[in-house]
Amino acid sequence: MHTSPLAVLGGFKTGGMNVYVRELSRELGRRGMQVDVFTRRESAIEPEVDTSLGENVRVIRLRAGGYGPADPSNLIGTAQEFAAGIHKYSALHSRVYDVMYSHYWLSGMVADILRRSWDVPWVQMFHTLGAMKNRIAKQPMIDPRVTAEMQIVRHADRIIAATQAELHQLLWLYRVDRRKVSIVPPGVDTTQFKPMDRDIARALVGLCDGDKMLLFVGRLEPLKAVDILLRALHDLHTIEPSVLTGVRLMVVGGEAGNPERVRLHALAEQLGVSGYVQFVGSRDHASLPAFYAAAEALIMPSDYESFGMVALEAHGDRHAGDSIRGRRAAVSDSRWRDRIPRAGARSRGTR
């Protein structure tokens, strides 16, 4: 509801879930299923229906609140309006559905409304859990999001967890009925994310001879902990600056006005490491293989990852990451990663 599978990645509230919904919808369409994806309309000039995702797939944009991007917490009051829009559209076009598959807690709220009048199975995937985010951010454990998630857990017919770790979180924090949960690991399009010539990749992303690129890819928000990378660069610059000769940290994600990007840019200046850091902004998903192939290491310092889509996409290239359970479950072969114990920026720098 709050974002679209057609959105540019790395922008406002766009990331792995967008990729997941987009690619799942495409694959179901290829297999002959009719798929309607309902999302919020952000602009009056956007067409109501978009069929660019492929055969049998339609993205349908409906009004819910005002136009423009919106934080999910500000859209809680629009769930009824969005559900009414789906009802109206399906009735107008004589669409009868065999299953509802809601993604994220906001869409789960909408599905919970629709289930009262639609006699169809309801499948829910959270992607991230509010209770986990609150624990990490040291916020109150119960808030409107967590309350909604608790209700969704009770009412949904089936809940999809991406990893064993997510199942444990659902059992521990939400007391979910284990019989309702299926673990379905996320996949990757290996026709797109595959090995490529490194020299070509380096040229595509603008690296010069002697450049050593460290890579972060993802939505910019505090829980992604990019500030830890900046502090690690600062420590290295202070302790042994020669180690950083030729090093460039490329941060892919975050539009120019993104508050976290503004904060990180200021922090890099404050720490004296801005010369090592390049904020390249949001990039089309199709451009990411070149970044992965050109990197010396993909670094994922996140405080919380539900399944780590970026790590899966970069699986053919060595990457480093903290020992975060969702990501560890997604990339289970230790040959493909270094895990760095979570112990502060200085240990990361010296590691």
Find the CATH number of the domain harbouring 341. 3.40.50.2000
**What pLDDT is recorded for position 272?**
95
Whether residue 40 lies inside any domain: the answer is yes
Whether residue 332 lies inside any domain: the answer is yes
Amino acid at 168: H
Q: Which of 31-40, 51-60, 97-106, 127-136 has the lowest mean pLDDT?
A: 127-136
- Mean pLDDT of the 44-62 span: 92
- Better-scored residue on pLDDT, 208 or 340: 208
100 forms beta bridges with: 122
Q: Does the pLDDT at position 153 exceed 70?
A: yes
Q: Are residues 334 and 211 in the same domain?
A: yes
Q: Does the pLDDT at position 14 exceed 70?
A: no
**What pLDDT is recorded for position 217?**
92
- 266 membership: H or E segment, kind and range: helix 259-271
**What pLDDT is recorded for position 229?**
93
- Mean pLDDT of the 180-202 span: 90
- Mean pLDDT of the 266-280 span: 95
**What pLDDT is recorded for position 26?**
93
Q: Are residues 203 and 341 in the same domain?
A: yes
Q: Are residues 214 and 169 in the same domain?
A: no
Q: Which of 1-5, 87-91, 106-110, 193-197 has the lowest mean pLDDT?
A: 1-5
Yes or no: say if 336 and 319 are a contact pair by the CB < 8 Å rule.
Answer: yes
The pLDDT-based confidence of 303 (bands split at 50, 70, 90) is confident
The pLDDT-based confidence of 44 (bands split at 50, 70, 90) is confident
Q: Are residues 176 and 88 in the same domain?
A: yes
CA–chain centroid gap for 283, Å, is 14
pTM: 0.80
The pLDDT-based confidence of 325 (bands split at 50, 70, 90) is very low
Whether residue 188 lies inside any domain: the answer is no
Tell me what percent of the chain is helix, strand and coil, each rounded to the nearest 5: 45, 15, 40
Whether residue 190 lies inside any domain: the answer is no
Q: What is the pLDDT of residues 212-258, one digit of tens each?
A: 999 999 888 888 889 999 999 999 999 998 999 999 999 998 888 88
Nearest of 174, 1, 196 to residue 85 by alpha carbon: 1
Domain boundary among 149, 183, 217: 183
**What pLDDT is recorded for position 74?**
77
d(CA 47, CA 79): 21
Q: Does the pLDDT at position 322 exceed 70?
A: no
**What pLDDT is recorded for position 306?**
72
Query: Concatenated DSSP letters for 90-156?
Result: HHHTT---S-EEEEHHHHHHHHHHHTTT--S-EEEE-SS-HHHHHHHHT--S--HHHHHHHHHHHH-
Yes or no: say if 267 and 227 are a contact pair by the CB < 8 Å rule.
Answer: yes
Q: Are residues 79 and 161 in the same domain?
A: yes
**Strands lying side by side in the sheet with 181-183:** 100-103, 122-125, 158-161, 181-183
Domain boundary among 120, 152, 183: 183
* Ramachandran sector of residue 121 (left: φ over 0; alpha: ψ -120 to 50; beta: rest): beta
Nearest of 18, 13, 128, 121 to residue 72 by alpha carbon: 13
- Mean pLDDT of the 127-131 span: 92
Q: Are residues 100 and 215 in the same domain?
A: no
Residue 204 carries which DSSP code?
A: H
The pLDDT-based confidence of 3 (bands split at 50, 70, 90) is confident
Q: Are residues 204 and 163 in the same domain?
A: no
- Mean pLDDT of the 75-95 span: 92
Yes or no: say if 291 and 215 are a contact pair by the CB < 8 Å rule.
Answer: yes
Q: Which of 64-73, 137-146, 159-168 has the lowest mean pLDDT?
A: 64-73
The residue count for the chain: 351
Q: Are residues 252 and 308 in the same domain?
A: yes
Nearest of 19, 4, 21 to residue 284 by alpha carbon: 19
Whether residue 9 lies inside any domain: the answer is no
Domain boundary among 183, 216, 246: 183
Yes or no: say if 2 and 104 are a contact pair by the CB < 8 Å rule.
Answer: yes
Distances (CA, A) of 138 to 38, 64, 134, 135, 141: 33, 31, 6, 5, 8
Alpha-carbon Rg of the chain, whole angstroms?
A: 21
The pLDDT-based confidence of 336 (bands split at 50, 70, 90) is very low
Range of the domain at 265: 198-350
Whether residue 6 lies inside any domain: the answer is no
Computed over every residue of the chain, the mean pLDDT equals 85
Q: Are residues 317 and 277 in the same domain?
A: yes
**What pLDDT is recorded for position 136?**
83
Whether residue 165 lies inside any domain: the answer is yes
Whether residue 170 lies inside any domain: the answer is yes
Q: Are residues 28 and 153 in the same domain?
A: yes
d(CA 343, CA 133): 19
What is the number of domains present in the chain? 2
Q: Are residues 269 and 154 in the same domain?
A: no
d(CA 220, CA 120): 37
Q: Are residues 148 and 30 in the same domain?
A: yes
Token pair 């479950």 is found at 329
**What pLDDT is recorded for position 324?**
41
Percent of the residues in the chain that have a pLDDT greater than 70, as a whole number: 86
**What pLDDT is recorded for position 9?**
58
